Amino acid sequence: MPRVCFLILFLGFLPMAGCLHCYTCVFPAVSPLDCLRFPQECPKGQRCLSSTATGKRGALQLTMYEMSCAVPAQCGLSGQKYASGLYFNYTNVCCDTDLCNSAGSVTVLCWTSAALALLPSLALLLT
């Protein structure tokens, strides 16, 4: 019986041990909250990326926000890129937990996922 309980408990943690999930913007956005973001499973070894790029032309200043999966070499980078007729100064920041690159907090989502993963084990222990 103890082996069965251990096995059920172990299986309850498997969903949390999968690949990293990050938000990905369909299009770059002018506000981190305007991004049409979708959770995406990243390939093994990648991290969640949040990128901010600011471009200026005269009095016009435009800031763009992007979210995606990224290879570690892209993390912590800053530089300049050219897009839409403007030079943008960008900064990339990465993180390593599920959906950590959102504009809002996902702590509640993480705890909810953990609780749901443990429900089968709890049910077995109570019966």
**CATH number of domain containing 72:** 2.10.60.10
> d(Cα 37, Cα 102) in Å, to the nearest integer?
9
> d(Cα 43, Cα 26) in Å, to the nearest integer?
18
Residue 93 has a pLDDT of 97
102 has a pLDDT exceeding 70: yes
Q: How far apart are the first and last CA of the chain?
A: 13
Query: pTM, whole model, 2 decimals?
Result: 0.64
- 3-state secondary structure at position 75: coil
Residue 112 has a pLDDT of 42
Structural domain range at position 64: 2-126
Q: How many independent structural domains does the chain possess?
A: 1
